Amino acid sequence: MTPFKTNRIMKLKELLARCDFDSIVPHLLRIYPRHATQLPWYKEAYDILRHTESVDNDGTIRIAWCNDDVKYGGEPYIHINNCEGQSWEGCLGAQLDVADDVHIADAELAARCLWSLTFYGFRPDECDYFDCYRAPRNPYEEQAKRLEDAQFRNYARKRPGRFHALSTEEWKIYDRRQSRRNRPKRMRDHRQEVRIKQLKRMGCVENTIRQILARTTEISREQLAYLPDTQLVHEPDYHSRAYDPSRRMAYLHEILARLLRWMKTATATRGSWPYCPSLRNIRCSPMNGRRSVASLRCFRPMRRY
């Protein structure tokens, strides 16, 4: 891959046109390895961007090294400015301003820009970033939320706000108190973390049961009693952006087949990976408009806590 040349004038839309998604995937897996299971959504975002009309403007997307984490023991990293939370049309029409000391390939630059653009959601109308602040949907999630607040107050000594917002000095006090925990406090924190994990998982199961019961009257709650013993309950919707009605299903199946290949690549590079579904578990159905959707539901037995 050719390193990005800073003397080349280019807009984000032109950069994405130069890089197909398959060339971007290796950089996403390397830079953001925990996002390997989100590649289908990255693909959807990429397709949307490729078919979105850009709005020419005087804005710039600045790509430069950031040293903010160095004073906290971190390492410098490449930061994309003026991209997160901005309109996708405006970002596509903005000029890329790459610092002279940033030498990366076009595909890597596209991967970093794609990550920044999707920081708040994989579609322009999404705000998935704030899902962790939504109201609890069932009693399990309510208990988990109360326990998380209590755990936060162990060291913050104040009632948490919506975003657990503390001043810089308050965060320093919080970190100092947490770093000086004795053994009983560490054991207490561990018990709380285990319980929070249990409650969140049971909340996910309960929400899945409610969704299933809301869709059909042919299944009773008693028939779903095995779900609390499952290891994985996952039902994401993968949307295709084929823009060609005759290829919707084929295009969607191709994306899901790529998902398996990408996850196997992640398994080879990281050594292990969560349960990888089979295409036999995938049900595709057409939708109105320009999209097609697949429902993927995976159930895997596990031990009770």
- pLDDT one-digit tens code per residue, 267-285: 555 444 444 444 434 444 4
Percent of the chain with pLDDT over 90: 21
Question: In whole angstroms, what is the distance from residue 101 CA to residue 61 CA?
Answer: 16
Mean of pLDDT over the chain: 76
Name the more confident of 48 and 36.
48
Predicted TM-score of the model (pTM): 0.57
Percent of the chain past pLDDT 70, that is, above it, reads 72
Residues 211 and 167 in one domain: yes
Together in a domain, 73 and 44: yes
Residues 100 and 172 in one domain: no
Q: What average pLDDT score do residues 10-16 get? A: 92
CA angle 299, 131, 274 (to 5 degrees): 30
Q: Is residue 4 part of a domain?
A: no
Q: Determine the pLDDT at residue 194.
A: 94
Provide the pLDDT for residue 106. Answer: 92
Q: Give 162 or 149, the one with higher predicted confidence.
A: 149
Cα→Cα distances 70→66, 75, 76, 167, Å: 9, 5, 6, 20
Residues 107 and 143 in one domain: no
Q: What is residue 44's predicted lDDT score, i.e. its pLDDT?
A: 85
Give dist(CA 20, CA 37) in Å, integer. Answer: 19
- What are the tens digits of pLDDT across the range 186-245? 999 999 999 999 998 888 888 888 888 887 888 888 888 888 777 665 555 566 666 777
Higher-pLDDT residue of 105 and 251 is 105
Comparing 24-38, 159-173, 190-204, the range with the smallest average pLDDT is: 159-173
Q: 51 is in which domain, residue-wise?
A: 12-129
Whether residues 82 and 121 fall in one domain: yes
Give pLDDT, residue 190. 94
The amino acid at 138: N
Domain boundary among 219, 238, 257: 219
Same-domain status, 72 and 117: yes
